[in-house]
């Protein structure tokens, strides 16, 4: 029988670090230390979960079972090097970074990737958030699972390639749908109407796509192949030529789907 | 003092007709008649709101204050012609069709446009749905407002040009965000993971954009100008070249916003 992870140190104090650290603390994990490039942010988060602020990354190894790295993707390699020698488990939380970035430095490694958009100001029910775990060691995978199932009811195994695709899917369904909201907002701002008139549509569109398949619930001029309305819309977009171009491209993408 | 609209006839039995007719009936308007290209659909809706099925459009004029046209944009002109002579008010419900399509045939006309995506199977709280009204006659506008405020707490005046822009904004924030969900789903389908793992992200992205401004809450590799992750994503999309192209285009659109 393997040991349970009870003591967790965290590198990072951004949105992911913030949500994971506070949720783990609530589930009675011992947050042993917090390191962040910003001492101030580390202090704030440490205060939130009764942890010690660590001045250096190597201090994170002090009396802990697991080091969880939740820093920007491009900073992981440097963090890994500065942690130095550590016999416990080290995981990162990145969608598009392979497990191998940890394997050259540590014996017991894994990935602990929550698929959600986190902001410090917004409460998230982690129970609903899917977690994707990876490890090359079965024992480590079991240990990570024991942690993850306390945070979430949806825990999966996914290797680096699957996680990368997952992240790409998330960019479309998350980042790029938000871009569509930005553009919608901008067009609305050219009228005298308040920007929130579009909110019920945004919410219902999303709920509908969740309740059914998005491919089945698509509506609109492109879906109906309503050339006349598309033409009117492109004329209305004449003062915003880059959006006219994008409108046409996305209309084509929809029409292709229903040919 | 003008007369109140109490009796309403409806041309159409699609999603908009369905939701408006049943909501108006609930608010004790008298639905006098329903006409639809499909007699079967007209019967179903008429049954729902104790209305008479009309075999011809000209019969819709029988004993009614208002005829509400809720048919596909391209069918409005023909419906208008076939209604024939009518002294009451005639409105259409289309985002991208001008008021003038009615003005050549009737003396008292208007537009009654609800901004939402409707499906018969899904209940919608119309109280939250913004309605946009247009009329060239002040008296008609007042009469339409009296109807609209019974259905919704958000009633606005908007002319044809504003309504067109509103509809274009809705295409981006609704139809095109749904396209992003379709693509996200498709990418996810190339993995072994269930498609619903992306649902919490979709919902939280939308809620966040509603709670704040979408421009302020944008996240992701393009927002961070994280070239390395974008490169990995484009590689992962190699088997789906049209999405790789779209990914890059939308990433550029985001990066432009934050220059």
**Containing H/E element for B77?**
helix B76-83
Binned at pLDDT 50, 70 and 90, residue B179 comes out as very high
| CB–CB contact A178 B218 (8 Å) | yes
- N-term to C-term CA, chain B: 56
Q: What is the dihedral of CA A69, A75, A81, A85, to 10 degrees?
A: -10
> CB-CB: which of A178, A184, A198 is closest to B217?
A178
- In this structure, the strands spanning B131-134 and B155-157 are parallel
pLDDT at B145 (0 to 100)? 98
- The pTM of this model reads 0.96
Q: Is the four-CA dihedral B20, B22, B23, B24 of positive or negative sign?
A: positive
CA–CA distance, B51 with B70 (Å, rounded to integer): 16
C-alpha distances in angstroms, B200 versus A70, A117, B204? 20, 9, 6
Question: Contact at 8 Å (CB) between B133 and B148?
Answer: yes
Beta strand segments in chain A, E: 7-11, 30-35, 52-53, 66-69, 89-92, 108-114, 131-134, 155-157
Residue A253 Cα, gap to closest chain B Cα (Å): 8
Mean pLDDT of A228-250: 97
| CB–CB contact B130 A202 (8 Å) | no
CA–CA distance, A129 with B97 (Å, rounded to integer): 43
| CB–CB contact A74 B228 (8 Å) | yes
For residue A100, pLDDT over 90 is answered with: yes
CA–CA distance, A204 with A181 (Å, rounded to integer): 13
Mean pLDDT of B145-161: 98
Q: Which two tokens stand for residue B238?
A: 């190699």
| CB–CB contact A184 B199 (8 Å) | no
Sort out which chain A residues have CB atoms less than 8 A from B220's CB and list them: 171, 174-175
Sort out which chain A residues have CB atoms less than 8 A from B169's CB and list them: 183-185, 187-188, 198
Question: Contact at 8 Å (CB) between B53 and B39?
Answer: yes
CA–CA distance, B28 with B23 (Å, rounded to integer): 9
| CB–CB contact A201 B253 (8 Å) | no
Question: Contact at 8 Å (CB) between B96 and A232?
Answer: yes
Instruction: Give strand pairing partners of B236.
Output: none
pLDDT at B1 (0 to 100)? 58
> CB-CB: which of B96, B158, B233 is closest to A232?
B96
Q: How far is CA B175 from the centre of its chain?
A: 10
Output the average pLDDT for chain A: 97
pLDDT at B2 (0 to 100)? 72
**What's the per-residue H, E or C state across B99-163?**
CHHHHCCCCEEEEEEECCCCCCCCCCCHHHCCEEEECCCHHHHHHHHHHHHHHCCCEEECCHHHH
Higher pLDDT, B3 or B190: B190
Q: Which two tokens stand for residue A87?
A: 């016999």
Question: Contact at 8 Å (CB) between A206 and B245?
Answer: no
> pLDDT per residue over A170-181, tens digit each?
999 999 999 999
Nearest to B11 by CA among B37, B49, B43, B40: B37
Mean pLDDT of A119-141: 96
Burial of A37 (0-12, 13-18, 19+ CB in 10 A): middle
pLDDT at B229 (0 to 100)? 97
> pLDDT per residue over B65-100, tens digit each?
999 999 999 999 999 999 999 999 999 999 999 999
Place of tokens 């998005």: A214
For residue A1, pLDDT over 70 is answered with: no
Angle at which helix B199-211 crosses helix A177-188, to 10 degrees, equals 30
User: What is the 8-class DSSP label of residue A65?
Assistant: S
> CB-CB: which of A175, A180, A202 is closest to B210?
A202
* Longest distance between any two alpha carbons in chain B, whole Å: 69
Binned at pLDDT 50, 70 and 90, residue B103 comes out as very high
Mean pLDDT of A138-149: 98
Mean pLDDT of A191-206: 97
CB-defined contacts A:B, below 8 A: 300
Binned at pLDDT 50, 70 and 90, residue A16 comes out as very high
Q: Which residue in chain A is spatially nearest to B185 when comparing CA positions?
A: A169
């Amino acid at each position: 029988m393997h040991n349970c992870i009870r003591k967790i140190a965290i590198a990072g104090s951004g949105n992911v670090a913030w949500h994971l650290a506070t949720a783990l603390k609530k589930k009675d994990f011992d947050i042993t230390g917090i390191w962040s490039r910003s001492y101030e942010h580390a202090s704030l988060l440490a205060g939130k979960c009764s942890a010690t602020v660590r001045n250096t990354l190597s201090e994170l190894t002090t009396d802990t079972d697991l080091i969880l790295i939740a820093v920007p993707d491009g900073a992981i390699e440097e963090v890994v090097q500065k942690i130095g020698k550590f016999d416990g488990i080290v995981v990162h939380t990145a969608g598009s970074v392979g497990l191998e970035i940890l394997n050259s430095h540590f014996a017991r490694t894994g990935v602990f990737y929550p698929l959600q958009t986190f902001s410090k100001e917004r409460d998230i029910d982690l129970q609903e958030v899917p977690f994707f775990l990876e490890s090359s060691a079965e024992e480590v995978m079991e240990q990570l699972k024991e942690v993850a199932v306390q945070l979430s009811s949806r825990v999966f195994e996914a290797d680096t390639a699957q996680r990368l695709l997952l992240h790409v899917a998330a960019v479309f369904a998350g980042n790029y749908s938000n871009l569509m909201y930005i553009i919608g907002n901008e067009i609305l701002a050219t009228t005298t109407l308040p920007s929130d008139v579009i909110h019920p549509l945004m919410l219902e569109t999303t709920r509908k796509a969740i309740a059914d398949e998005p491919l089945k619930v698509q509506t609109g001029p492109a879906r109906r192949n309503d050339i006349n309305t598309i033409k009117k819309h492109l004329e209305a977009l004449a003062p915003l030529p880059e959006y006219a171009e994008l409108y046409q491209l996305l209309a084509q993408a929809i029409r292709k789907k229903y040919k």
